[in-house]
Amino acid sequence: MDPLAIFAPAKINLFLAVTGRRADGFHDLVSVVSQLGFGDTLGIEPAGGFSLTCDDPAVPADESNLVLRAARAFATATNWKGGAKFTLAKRIPAGAGLGGGSSDAVAALRGLNLLAGEPLDGPGLAALAAQLGSDCPLFLHAGPVVMRGRGERITALPANAAPRIRGRRVLVFKPGFGIATPWAYARLAASAPASYVPAAEAEARLAAWIHDDAAPAEALLFNSMEPPAFAKFPALPALVAELRERFGLSPRMSGSGSACFALLEERTDAAPIIAAIRAAWGASASVIETRLT
């Protein structure tokens, strides 16, 4: 088989309500997630054993990388005796809440499944993805989805609501620092139960938005993870407030951060917004204009 090139998109959480901590240490959540037209590319070609190279030297290419962990898990689950050489073109910044590592892992699963003659069906891939990480299963689905549980329960956004999200312009911006997801959730748990959104309330808020056909995507935006991140890293709320006041935007943080995003109207000139972001966060900031898919 010829080498494969699998696109591994980034994601953003438009709505993220953390509803409580589970007995297994994970958190339950209700989240609306959209993939982006921006992401990594994972090259896969048959080889003896598994290996990984990456064009970003800061990304570990050893067994701690989710791509290789996904490959080992796939081989174990399917008893596949083949191997693959992975080449990762990394574009999604780490520590951003954009799902880069999870998306890369799912790209590896999808590619290996093709190389191996598709021994796993959709549910089989989903079960394996859920073992790798809470964000992984969503990358097996196209279009905006709702995540529940710790992230393993995925449903498509209803047909009346998805068009309000799909195709929207979005500006994604990340400061020069990242935020570790375990730290963020530990800080959230330290303020429990006040930091959690009751599950019934989260579901009611989501249902109200879904059933209001006139409600734009901006009316959905919410993130439980902002308070701990904003308290620790004041550069985040400072810029979010500036973009609200100067440009009338509704910026939010994605996931556990540190990346934030702002939905843009088609007529909006992004140049002055990007200039304001760079003025606030400096040359180390990443700024990407893309679309929700």
Other Cβ atoms less than 10 A from the Cβ of 132: the count is 20
- Of 2, 11, 56, 269, the active-site residue reads 11
Q: Retrieve residue 183's tokens.
A: 């730290």
Contact (CB, 8 A) for 53 and 26? no
121 is catalytic: no
Name the residue among 123, 106, 100, 105 with its Cα closest to residue 255.
Answer: 100
Name the residue among 131, 147, 82 with its Cα closest to residue 111.
Answer: 82
11 is catalytic: yes
Q: Retrieve residue 189's tokens.
A: 């748990």
- Of 40, 104, 135, 174, the active-site residue reads 135
**Residue 242: CB partners within 8 Å, gap ≥ 6?**
276, 280
Half-sphere exposure of 224 (CA within 13 A, CB side): 28
Other Cβ atoms less than 10 A from the Cβ of 122: the count is 9
Contact (CB, 8 A) for 99 and 63? no
Q: Which active-site residues does the annotation give? A: 11, 135
